[in-house]
Amino acid sequence: MASFFLEFAAEQRLQLPLLVTPETCSGKTYIVTGANTGLGYETSKHLVNCRAKKVIMAVRNLEAGETAKAEIESATNNRGIAEVWSLDLSSFDSVKSFAKRVNSQLDRIDAVIENASVAHDRWSTVEGYEASTTINILSTFLLAVLVLPKLTEVAKRYGNLPHLTIVTSGVAFTAKEAMDRIRDNPLAGMNDPTTTDMNKRYPLTKLFQHYAGRHLATLVPVSKTGVVVNLVNPGLCKTKLSRNSKFSRWLEIYITNLLVGRSQEMGSRPLLHASMAGAESHGRYVSSCEIKEHQVPEWVKGEEGRKLGERIWNDIAVELEKIEPGCLDRVLRH
């Protein structure tokens, strides 16, 4: 653990490369969730600045999204690129409506950057699950499986290499003890307020993303779909993610950010890199604009970790089929 934190601190101070250019973005369409603030905002701003064909800013609050769009257009002097679309990950119906719009209205997609997440330390439920479980896990993977067939179709039609990039976190690897408490019945355990400490909830949801995302990647290999699925860690960034945390937790994050926190703009660079990384990043952990599989603990990527990842994915898949019957069959038959 000590080596993890030493490497974390060293990486946080890196000046990361900005790999997107007008040449790399020309003619391309991107979807960024949680795009009106933080990393999603900065990611969208870079893509608009590089004159992508289209940038879909997926947001829960349309008014806030339009304000963010206007700020980006003013800063970049590029108009007619960004579009604000409604997406509320606390509502399965909203996710389905968004995906339906994506599938029917966009002729090309080059990357879907699933950035939107929440960090709650108080128990509440939406859609029958604890809120951060619904948003960070179920809705995140619901959107993934609903757009994957479209990404495969696009890859075959245009010969491009679309990306589905899930924005996770290195803090996930601090949640082993929390996962061990529920590993016999992971998703149900997330819905039991007596089994997990809410202060560990955000890292635990991110650990679920790692397990499930890695297993999903094995089900949809690039050789079959033409789509890269990867997981990116933006590092610790000075965003508003902890705004709903208790004061003691907020203060801890605030002080750490003062010492080693990245700016929101610097934190957007790993997202941009992951959205254009090569096929070798499929199913891999990407951090600081590099594939960093050596940072993934053996208990995640080893044999036992792969078995747990399959169990977690299967739990999620059961729920996704309830939400949208047939959605997994449409993904796996491509």
Give phi and psi for 187, each to the nearest 5.
-70, -40
Q: What is the pLDDT of residue 257?
A: 47
Mean pLDDT on 105-119: 96
Q: Tell me which of 297 and 197 has the higher pLDDT.
A: 297
Q: What is the pLDDT of residue 250?
A: 45
Q: What is the pLDDT of residue 264?
A: 86
Rounded Cα distance between 5 and 85, Å, is 38
Active site residue 206: yes
Calculate the CA 303 to chain-centre distance: 24
pLDDT at 3 over 70: no
Mean pLDDT on 274-296: 97
% residues pLDDT > 90 (the chain): 81
Q: Which of 30, 206, 285, 301 is catalytic?
A: 206
Q: CB 320: neighbour CB atoms within 10 A?
A: 22
Which range (31-45, 87-101, 192-206, 250-264) has the least confidence? Answer: 250-264
Q: Which of 30, 202, 211, 285 is catalytic?
A: 202
Q: What is the pLDDT of residue 246?
A: 58
Model confidence pLDDT, tens digit, residues 163-212 = 999 999 999 999 999 999 999 999 999 999 888 788 889 999 999 999 99
Q: Share the mean pLDDT of the chain.
A: 91
Q: What is the pLDDT of residue 67?
A: 98
Mean pLDDT on 269-282: 98
Q: Tell me which of 3 and 54 has the higher pLDDT.
A: 54
Model confidence pLDDT, tens digit, residues 134-157 = 999 999 999 999 999 999 999 999
Active site residue 202: yes
Per-residue confidence at 121, pLDDT binned at 50, 70, 90? confident
Q: What is the pLDDT of residue 333?
A: 80
Rounded Cα distance between 93 and 101, Å, is 12
Rounded Cα distance between 282 and 135, Å, is 23
Which range (91-100, 156-165, 240-249) has the least confidence? Answer: 240-249
pLDDT at 65 over 60: yes
Model confidence pLDDT, tens digit, residues 302-330 = 999 999 999 999 999 999 999 999 999 99
Q: Tell me which of 14 and 115 has the higher pLDDT.
A: 115
Model confidence pLDDT, tens digit, residues 71-86 = 999 999 999 999 999 9
What is the value of pTM for the model shown?
Answer: 0.92
- What class is the 2-332 domain? alpha beta
Q: CB 27: neighbour CB atoms within 10 A?
A: 12
Q: Pick the closest to residue 155 from 57, 224, 218 (CA basis).
A: 224
Model confidence pLDDT, tens digit, residues 220-258 = 999 999 999 999 999 775 666 555 555 555 445 544 544
